[in-house]
Amino acid sequence: MRELLFNITQESDGGYVAVAVGESIATQGDSWDELCSMVLDAVRLYFEGAMPPDRIRLFLHVEQVLAVA
């Protein structure tokens, strides 16, 4: 089973950016649902005429800074 991993970052405006690991695929979406749809579309187009991955894993990077008083 082949799996394609996307690293996801959330932009300061609330949107998301997805970049595939090991493939030249990147896309973005204003919401999580839109991002998922855009990732599927991008993967289908990228692998058009070739064997696509069996599944796609989205890995969301979350950064939070905590103040210590």
Residue 24 lies in a domain: yes
| pTM summary value | 0.86
Residue 67 lies in a domain: no
* Number of domains into which the chain is organized: 1
Residue 11 lies in a domain: yes
Going 35 to 38 to 43 to 44, the CA torsion angle's sign is: positive
Task: For the chain, 69 residues long, give each residue's pLDDT as a single digit of tens.
Answer: 699 999 999 998 889 999 999 999 999 999 999 999 999 999 999 999 999 999 999 999 887 889 998
The beta strands (E) that lie in the chain are given as: 3-10, 16-20, 26-29, 55-61
Name the residue range of residue 15's domain. Answer: 3-61
Residue 53 lies in a domain: yes
Residue 51 lies in a domain: yes
* pLDDT confidence of residue 51: 93
* pLDDT confidence of residue 47: 96
Residue 28 lies in a domain: yes
